[in-house]
Amino acid sequence: MNVSQPSILHALIFCCITHLCFSQTNEIDSLQNLLETANDTTRVNTLKELGRKFRFQNKEMAIKYGLQSLEEAKEINFTLGEIKALYDIGLTYGMTGDYATSLGYFNKAQSLALEHGNFQIVLDTYNSLGIVYKRIGDYPTSQSYYLKSIKLIDSLNLGLDVSPIYVNLGVLHYQMGQDKQAVDNFEKALELVPESNREEREHFVLVNLAVLDYQNGDYEVALNKFLKAVPYSKERNDNISLCTKYSNIGSCYFNLGQWA
């Protein structure tokens, strides 16, 4: 009997991580009730938030609320609301696989944010553009946006946590088949992570390094890292993450011939 080798579930981590929760419907109801009496900037922000809540349930509704938020922000000259609406619409298109449209909205958000000196949103767009270009396979452009983020943070002395950017660079180098550069960037992320985020970032890096070890055939090393990562997901009741880890652990045992 031929038994095929199980493929590992890639657990590569990106900066944008979303958790769906059962309270989503109640939150949408509350926001829709608030919309009936809200006006001006509160109404724009409420529309934007509704777009976010619908993002993983109904793309059409998410876009509808996002565009409504954008138009009403323009009507009352609420520039920050306009920038955030453009960015959020870009996220919705990107997260639902329409990368070409998402790029257009990210670029508009970035241009307006630069014009008004909102460097936090400029950084958000750089990061999102890096992710989108990575997903469409344009790795050099993706890398350029991640590096722009680091350069902007350094040049303005913003004092922001750059470790997620190095994690993303590590993922990018992994996908380019550049394992050494991937490891270097993961290690750089750990050097720079602030203490307040250390446990989370160490976990992300550990899982990514485990994937690299597995792909290189170091199944025992990968297994130990995946096992170390399990308690983090258990403590947070993150069953989706646990499912992936257990599957990967099973794949490691399979390759080690430890059938039980």
Whose CA is closest to 225, among 181, 177, 186?
186
DSSP E strands: which ranges in 5-151?
Answer: none
The Cα 169–Cα 148 span in angstroms is 12
pLDDT digits 0-9 by tens, 14-32: 333 333 444 567 787 787 7
The Cα 159–Cα 141 span in angstroms is 25
pLDDT digits 0-9 by tens, 131-176: 999 999 999 999 999 999 999 988 888 778 888 899 999 999 998 9
Residue ranges of the alpha helices (H) in 161-255? Answer: 163-175, 179-192, 198-215, 219-235, 239-255
Residue 7 has a pLDDT of 55
Residue 24 has a pLDDT of 63
Q: Which amino acid is at 199?
A: E
Q: Which of the residues in the chain have pLDDT under 50?
A: 1-3, 10-22
Residues 167 and 189 sit within 8 Å (Cβ to Cβ): yes
Residue 18 has a pLDDT of 35
pTM, whole model, 2 decimals?
A: 0.78
